[in-house]
Amino acid sequence: MAHRNILVTGATSGFGKAIAEHFAANGDHVILTGRRKDRLDAIEKEIRESSGVNVLTLPFDVQDRKQVFDAMASIPEAWRPIDILVNNAGLALGRDHFEDTDLDDWEVMMDTNVKGLMYVTKAILPLLRKGGGGHIINMGSIAGKEVYEKGNGYCASKHAVDAISKAMRVDLLKHAIKVTAVHPGAADTEFSMVRFKGDKPTADSVYAGYEPLVAKDVADIVLYCANQPRHVCINDLVVTCTAQANSFYLHRK
Ligand code: NDP
Ligand code: 8X3
């Protein structure tokens, strides 16, 4: 199989880093994006050395519309068309009842998880392969399937990702662009350290007493979705660790 060009947002950590590494190990060429340039540089070096594929890094903030459109416009001709966009960049901030939530946390979650994903997709669409082979993979969450207590803003943002994924699938039919939404449950990445703003004991407590998903589990699934035949599209995939049934039921030892 000829190599494909893959752009992964949020490739500096967690799922995005593992997804980029998996595509590279599969022989695909990868564009790594995220805000932390030092990490992008280190991961670029690591992937080049381990896989020998072409790697391009684009540091930008998905919340910033101009940065997003400038970054996409800067993608060299040799990287076009893009075959697969993985919209993975995202975060939760805080876990509080509605009345206690910090308004700034809501703003950042909506600007990143919802508007950022839409900006990146809109900006890359002219570069995305049409007529078969083009694929958008959006990172949702079980938080986009059920609303849990103190999850208000994050759950709203991931419900929006669920809705946007359905909307894209309909609107992009004519271009034969597949749209897949992957919805993981609890996974041990930097997610909880970000959510709890560096409070390590609280972040660690999220994963105590059971074996959570890890980034590799989700990356394996994303690659599986991306490696289906052209006429097959996995629309919606929910994955949890065995100890978790959904947002409400988690069995801790
Ligand atoms: P991490 O915190 O490990 O990774 C998040 C990634 O998103 C980082 O690479 C970060 O890069 C990037 N990112 C965050 N904000 C921005 C921004 N404004 N602009 C550009 N990039 C940004 O968490 P995960 O890997 O766990 O999370 C990845 C996705 O998976 C998110 O969408 C999350 O909501 C979702 N998810 C996570 C689950 C979990 O339990 N871990 C479960 C279900 C879904 P940088 O900081 O360098 O910009
Ligand atoms: C992350 C999973 O359950 O913390 O999206 O919302 S959860």
User: Residue ranges per domain, the chain?
Assistant: 5-239
Q: How far apart are CA 163 and CA 82, in angstroms?
A: 24
pLDDT in tens, 92-150: 999 999 999 999 999 999 999 999 999 999 999 999 999 999 999 999 999 999 999 99
Mean pLDDT, rounded, of the chain: 98
Establish whether residue 108 lines the binding site of ligand 1, counting it when its CB lies within 6 angstroms of any ligand atom: no
Looking at residue 1, its pLDDT comes to: 64
Confidence of residue 198 (pLDDT cuts 50, 70, 90): very high
Radius of gyration of the CA atoms of the chain, in A: 17
Task: Write out the two tokens for 137.
Answer: 């993979």
pLDDT in tens, 64-88: 999 999 999 999 999 999 999 999 9
Element (H, E) at 11: none
CB-based contact 105:153 (threshold 8 Å): yes
Looking at residue 2, its pLDDT comes to: 84
pLDDT in tens, 203-235: 999 999 999 999 999 999 999 999 999 999 999
- Residue among 129, 240, 227, 113 at smallest CA distance from 164: 113
Rounded to 5 degrees, φ, ψ at 160 are -65, -40
pLDDT above 80 for 199: yes
Ligand 2: distance of its center to the CA of 206 in Å?
A: 10
Residues 6+ apart with CB under 8 A from 166: 181
Write out the catalytic residue numbers.
154
pLDDT above 70 for 163: yes
- Residue among 54, 43, 42 at smallest CA distance from 19: 43
Strands 178-184 and 236-239: parallel
Given the structure tokens 């999850």, which residue do they identify?
A: 151
The stretch 157-174 carries a mean pLDDT of: 98
Q: Give percent of the chain above pLDDT 70.
A: 100
Mutate to test the pocket of ligand 2, among 154, 161, 244 (most ligand atoms within 8 A of CB): 154
CATH of 5-239 among 3.10.180.10, 3.40.718.10, 3.30.70.100, 3.40.50.720: 3.40.50.720
Ligand (nearest to CA of 41): 1
Ligand (nearest to CA of 187): 1
CB-based contact 141:183 (threshold 8 Å): yes
Looking at residue 102, its pLDDT comes to: 97
Establish whether residue 16 lines the binding site of ligand 1, counting it when its CB lies within 6 angstroms of any ligand atom: yes
Q: How far apart are CA 178 and CA 181, in angstroms?
A: 10
